Structure 1
């Protein structure tokens, strides 16, 4: 037993891989789901593809505060588990589900604001009509997204990430199949175009939620975590979720609002620029989102070992996560540099499209530039995940929000005031991003996170 412990140390690469790899696969499935939407819609025309990206981002942006708030349930569940207070893990899920239900009408009420948002940013009319249509349908899936996040936080927190992976796989397969049938009108169904893509996404999300709900209510899990006893409001657990999760929610909302503004500012530059930046961010999403799976692994293990009072093992888990992200991002860097033409050609419409022909060289150039920050992405997601898992969420929020919101005025100045080419504005954004990414490492190295206490063991309060 002693030799086995030496070869598989707590917080080591093997333990990190066991939790993180299913989440990487899960995030890859989510990415492929969105990527396939845009790939299918690109066959209908570059404008339709751009409309799906902008509409989808805006619908997600309106949910992000609650997604971030509920998402902190991963760290809270992990800390209760590490502190030996397993019976409180299910209480976290119940509080998160209550928040999901309360959030839904608030998010739906913001729909007119988003429509105004599209008009103010001067999105071309041809794109704006399809964009609003896609956005409106997706927004009705809000309760599916938030309830799914509540259950995902539970399974990620206790380390059973294969359930999340299975759920994401089901969502991907259902969505791809439904999209193919509904977008193009196969098997006698009407061709719904961009509306079919939105309906396929909702159907995939519903099936994914049912998979996780079935696993959560399974007899053995129900008994182990006393789930039925947890189906009530718990003020102490809700208070912790609100206190530590709110910074994550504010951060995610403000960051995605800034990111959405960046996309829409590019889209307001014209249909050619909109097509180019949409292609670039489609591939950027493919490269970045799987890193979030490793971040969840880091957050879960750091939370667990901080709850157990072992910051030394939490630090080892962070190093393990960093090794995984750097290995993955190095491969992405080589792909972006060596074959950007092939990546761009994937989105070529099936019919002649003058907008795509003009946008393709611009997209190739911008994709090569994107390779400059993929390694910075790797470092940022790991160290921010470690800080959040330990409870240092407020500082992580402030830095991340400042970083994202500086990109908006920079882009406006370069693209609207100085009137430089879009590739020059894109390079300026990358330079600012690189300058901020090292600050997460600096905060981590300061070590303040090692002394934070979010939950206590059975001898203390909840």
Structure 2
């Protein structure tokens, strides 16, 4: 056993993974803190605002994840070009991400104008909540191009393993967001009281701040000369075509994952205020595990792309397992906290005066749901890291097929039939969530161990 440990230590990449992923995790933590405080402020503002912010926010996030996922896939191309020693291709790749960002802005404005109201009427939530959902969703879509721009610009840095600028930009965005959020929601410091609209506006402003932090370093004199950024402002049909070929399935994979949870929240809303509010709170809490895992997945994708670009798939494997070990330490610690102090954690999101007689019931239901969350966040570690390796290699078609099959068979059909026709309760519904993540974990783990991804390279296909 000791000899095996020494052998692993020699090939492990804990330091390299930490150097790339920890800044991304820190940046994701800043995003998590923004969402966390956003929902705490709204929970203290009104129970309707709390009930509306998660369905509307997750629905907007679903759309933004797809568009941002395609734009952000430039990081995989940049990583492989960087690993293969082809810096002349990095500038033109970045421009394809920027052009796609502009297209996304048009799409999001059309969604804000023509889709917002019909969508939430179709959902069928309480009319008072529906109005708030439409307001929050519309504002996020109107400013959503900034979110997509962040993904494209971040790809320039993460693809080359330079993750500190991304971390710094996200932290600055958080510092701006939190006080602005509080002021616009509650109407203090000379700001108007806008409630849930104020939360959305503060989020969009923070996105703009992050873009302003990322863009100037990219277009500095040094990078302009090194990557010929001003000479490569053109639409490259080959690279743009590959961005759609690999980026769209990759983005759809993640978007379908988010869609499964969006559908879950929307249909749980039919059970009543208590199940919806408790689920919203628990999902907000679970982001403490999800966002770091997402940060690690971005880092591992980049490291996989660089390793394959250099023709060294063994480095990608070592990075993946090192990432799993580090992430499991954090996730298991979080799971212990969820099991030992659930009511204390949930109470941060509630104020007795705004919850009426539902306070104790939401606390009880939420505490039980956290047990389900403890199981699925551990499974999610393997799913996220192995999926990151496949994405970094360009095996996005399999990812899309796997997530599509699991979403339909393990989430959408069981939840719809169970809640609509069989009277499924909230705990059975959360059981479906754990089953869904478990199946995904098995499918993606099998593909990873199959090893076909080691022979893939998006820049040569």
Normalization by structure 2: what TM-score? Answer: 0.94
Question: Are 1:124 and 1:271, in contact at CA under 8 Å, matched by a contact in 2?
Answer: no
Runs of 4+ with deviation above 4 angstroms: 6-11
Instruction: For 1:46 and 1:10, locate their aligned partners in 2 and report how far apart those are by CA, in whole Å.
Output: 52
Give runs of aligned pairs for residues 30-109 of structure 1, distance below 5 A: 30-109=31-110
Report the CA distance between 1:124 and its aligned residue.
Answer: 0.9
Give the Cα separation in 1 of the matches to 2:370 and 2:254.
25
- Per the TM alignment, residue 352 of structure 1 is displaced from its structure 2 partner at its CA by 4.5
Tell me if the contact between 1:45 and 1:349 (Cα under 8 Å) persists in the aligned partners: no
**Paired residues of 2:84 and 2:309 also in contact (CA < 8 A):** yes
Residues 352 and 359 of structure 2 are in contact (CA less than 8 Å); yes or no, is this contact kept in structure 1?
A: no
Query: Aligned partners of 2:248, 2:355: CA distance in 1, in Å?
Result: 45
Preserved CA contact (<8 Å) 1:78 1:307: yes
Are 2:339 and 1:360 aligned?
Answer: no
Q: Is 1:75–1:299's contact at 8 Å kept on the other side of the alignment?
A: yes
Separation (CA, whole Å) in 2 of partners of 1:429 and 1:76: 33
Mark the runs of 5 or more structure 2 residues left unpaired by the alignment.
Answer: 1-6
Alignment partners' CA distance in 2, 1:33 and 1:401? 30
Partners in 2 of 1:254 and 1:232 — Cα distance? 32
Q: Could you say if the C-alpha distance between residues 66 and 352 of structure 1 is closer, same or farther in structure 2, counting changes exceeding 3 Å?
A: closer
1:59-458, aligned counterparts within 5 Å?
59-111=60-112, 112-349=114-351, 351-354=353-356, 355-406=358-409, 407-456=411-460
Q: Distance in 1 between matches of 2:352 and 2:215?
A: 40
What is residue 21 of structure 2 aligned with on the other side? Answer: 20
- In the TM superposition, residue 377 of structure 1 has moved relative to its aligned partner by 0.5
**8 Å Cα contact 2:31-2:170 kept in structure 1:** yes
The offset of 1:182, in angstroms, is 1.0
Q: Distance in 2 between matches of 1:9 and 1:92?
A: 35
Match of 1:231, SS state, is coil
Where do 5+ consecutive residues of structure 1 fail to align?
Answer: 1-5, 457-461
Cα RMSD over matched residues?
1.8
Once the two structures are TM-superposed, the CA of residue 286 in structure 1 deviates from its matched residue by 1.6
Which whole-Å CA distance do the structure 2 matches of 1:8 and 1:344 have between them? Answer: 40
Q: Could you tell me the TM-score, scaled by structure 1's length?
A: 0.94
Equivalent position SS for 1:353 = helix
Over residues 383-439 of structure 1, what are the superposed CA-to-partner deviations in whole Å (9 max), with x where a residue is unaligned? 000011111111012112222333022112222221132122212331232233122
Structure 1 residue 9 displacement after superposition: 6.5
Equivalences, count: 452
Q: Quick check: 1:175–1:203 contact (8 Å CA) kept in 2?
A: yes
Deviation at 1:69, TM superposition (A): 1.1
Q: Distance in 2 between matches of 1:60 and 1:7?
A: 39
